[in-house]
Amino acid sequence: MKKVLSVLKKLAVLFIVIILFGFVSIFIYHNYQLGKEAALIKSEGTLVNVNKKNINVYNEGNGKETYVFMSGSGIAAPVYEMKGLYRKFSQENKIAVVERAGYGYSDVSNDGRDIDKILEQTRKVLIQSGNTPPYILVPHSLSGLEAIYWAQKYPEEVKSIIALDIGLLHQYVTHKMDLVDSFAVKGINMLTKIGVHRLFPTTTYNPEVIKQDFLTDHEKELYKALSFKQIFNNDMEQELLKSYENSKKSVNLPIPKDTPILFVDAIAKQNKNSKYTKQNSKDYEEFAEQLNIADVIKIEGTHSIYLYEPEEIYKLSTKFIEKNERPM
C-alpha cells in the first residue's frame, strides 16, 4: 500500500511539474510573439492622453452627422472588426470609432472601469479629436449600457442611438453575475496573461473578420496581433465584473424618453425559438414602449450582427434617422 501511495505521489508531482513547465513555455512563447508583433502595431487613429493613458479614436468621412461606434465586450480591435459597418456610414457622414481603455490601440487603464470614468473618457477623447456633439451613438452589446447612460446624463449630446443587439441596463441587474461566473472571468483573465489563448486563435479573434474582404491582408495581420495583445486584459475583466454596479447607476436614473432609439435585435436562426431569445425580444419591445420615439427591428444573424448585415443596418439606420430628425 505504501509503495502504491509513493508511486501516486511521484506521479502527482511529475504531473504538476509538467503542467508548470507547459505554462512557463507558453508564457515565454507568448511574450516572444508579443515582441515580434509590436513592430506591426502602429496606431491607426488619434491617441488622446487621459490621466496619463492614451485612448485611441479613429475618424473617417465627412458630413452633417457624426456616428460614434462603440464596440461590445471583448472586441479587442474595434477599428478593424467594425470596419465593414462603419465604412458604409462614412461615405456620407463623419464617423468616430472610440476604442475604450484596454481595446485596440488604447492603453490598459487599470482604473476599475466605473461607468462614469468610461463615459467621461469617451466624451473627452471625442472632443479632443475634433468630434463635437451631438452624436448618433452606435453601440454593440455591453456598450449599450454606456450609450443609454450617456443619453440619461447628457441628453443634449445624444441625437439618436442605433442599438446593435445591446444588453439593457435592467438585464445586467436582473441577471447579476454569480460567484462561478466571477471566478470564470478572473480565471480567463489570468490564463490570457500567461498566453494560453495563443493555443486557441479562433476564440481569440473572430474568424469571420478574416474570412470577409473588408480588410486588407496587412490589416488582418494587425487585427490578429491586437487581439493576441489585448484579449481579456484587466480592463475587459473589470468591465464585466462591474456590469451590475454600473447598470444600477443607470437604472436609478430616468429613462431617456426623448432620445430616439432603433433597437436591432439579432436573431440567430438556430435559437429563434429559445426562451432567452423570446425574452430578449420582449425586453426590447417593453423598453421601446417607454420611449417617445423608438423602433425594434429583428434581423436574422448572430450577436456580431455588424459582420453579417452591414448594408441592412446602414439602410435601416439611415431611414430611422431621416424619419425622426429632431433639432438639437
Nearest to 193 by CA among 237, 144, 147, 140: 237
The one-character DSSP state at 140 is B
In which band, very low, low, confident or very high, does the pLDDT at 308 lie, cut at 50, 70 and 90?
Answer: very high
pLDDT over 70, % of the chain: 95
Listed by start position, the domains of the chain span: 1-39, 46-323
For 205-253, what is each residue's pLDDT tens digit? 999 999 999 999 999 999 999 999 999 999 999 999 999 999 999 999 9
Dist CA 177 CA 240 (whole Å): 9
76 in Cβ contact with 227 (< 8 Å): yes
pTM (global) more than 0.85: yes
Q: Highest-confidence range of 42-51, 160-169, 263-272, by mean pLDDT?
A: 160-169
pLDDT score at 210: 97
- The fold for domain 46-323 equals Rossmann fold (3.40.50)
Residue 265 contacts residue 297 (beta carbons within 8 Å): yes
Using pLDDT thresholds of 50, 70 and 90, give the confidence band for residue 15.
Answer: confident
Predicted local confidence at residue 326, as pLDDT: 67
Q: Provide the grid cell at 218.
A: 496587412
Q: Mean pLDDT across the stretch 158-177?
A: 94
Q: Which is higher by pLDDT, 308 or 272?
A: 308
**Residue 42 scores a pLDDT above 90:** no
Task: Give which of 326, 316, 264, 265 is closest to 293, Cα–Cα.
Answer: 326
Asked if residue 7 has pLDDT above 80, the reply is no
pLDDT, residue 40, reads 86
Strand, coil or helix: what is 238? helix
Distance CA 86, CA 83 (A): 5
Work out the burial of residue 212: count CB atoms within 10 Å of its CB; fewer than 13 is exposed, 13-18 middle, 19 or more buried.
Answer: middle
Q: Which region, left, alpha or beta, applies to residue 249 given φ > 0 means left and ψ of -120 to 50 means alpha? A: alpha
Residue 281 pLDDT > 60: yes
Beta-sheet pairing, 261-267 with 135-139: unpaired
Q: Give 262-313 as a DSSP string.
A: EEEEEE-GGGTTSHHHHHHHHHHHHHHHTSSSEEEEEEES-S-HHHH-HHHH
**Mean pLDDT throughout 21-39?**
90
Instruction: List, for residues 97-156, the tens digit of each pLDDT value.
Output: 999 999 999 999 999 999 999 999 999 999 999 999 999 999 999 999 999 999 999 999
Q: 70 vs 104, 202, 222, CA distance in Å?
A: 12, 22, 19
Is the per-residue pLDDT at 8 higher than 70?
no
Q: According to the model, what pLDDT value does residue 2 have?
A: 59
Task: Report how far residue 309's alpha carbon sits from residue 307's, in angstroms, rounded to the nearest whole number.
Answer: 6
Q: Give the residue from 234, 218, 233, 191 showing the smallest Cα distance to 37.
A: 218
pLDDT band at 271 (very low <50, low <70, confident <90, very high): confident
